């Protein structure tokens, strides 16, 4: 269980990946085959990494053997989403009972 606020995967892309590659958002979006707006929304934490984008990131960064896998991008997104959800009140749910 993650006990701290994990970073949005877009933060990793924005602060680590793009600078290391020396790419602008526009250049990265073109290489990934997504719109600049779509990528920008992810980079700023306003949109989640989708399965499609995770697969594109995996291929773009060298495949699962050489770079982050699609699974790792999705795991990072899930950890972020769950942590954020756990900061709100628990949903009201009745326990499951057999009929």
Provide the domain limits for residue 39. Answer: 9-85
Q: How many domains does the chain have?
A: 1
Q: How confident is the prediction for the chain on average, in pLDDT?
A: 94
Determine the average pLDDT of the residues in 56-83. 92
Q: For residue 41, is it within any domain?
A: yes
Is residue 2 scored above 90 in pLDDT?
A: no
Q: What is the pLDDT of residue 63?
A: 72
Instruction: Enter the tokens of residue 60.
Output: 């773009």
CA-closest candidate to residue 17, choices 75, 51, 56:
56
What gap in Å lies between CA 5 and CA 15, rounded to an integer? Answer: 17
Cβ atoms of 77 and 53 within 8 Å: the answer is no
Is residue 48 scored above 90 in pLDDT?
A: yes
27-31, 36-40, 85-89: least confidently modelled range: 85-89
Residue/partner pairs of 81-85 with CB below 8 Å, 24 or more apart: 81/48, 82/2, 83/2, 83/4, 83/5, 83/6
Which CATH number does the domain housing residue 31 bear? 1.10.260.40
């Amino acid at each position: 269980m993650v006990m701290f606020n994990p970073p949005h995967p877009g933060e990793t892309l924005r602060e680590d990946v793009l600078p290391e590659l020396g790419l602008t958002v526009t250049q990265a979006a073109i290489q990934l085959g997504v719109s600049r707006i779509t990528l920008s929304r992810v980079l700023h934490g306003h949109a989640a990494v989708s399965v499609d984008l995770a697969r594109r990131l995996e291929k773009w960064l060298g495949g699962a053997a050489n770079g982050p896998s699609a699974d790792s991008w999705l795991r990072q997104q899930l950890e972020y989403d769950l942590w954020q959800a756990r900061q709100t009140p628990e949903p009201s749910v009745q326990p499951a009972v057999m009929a």
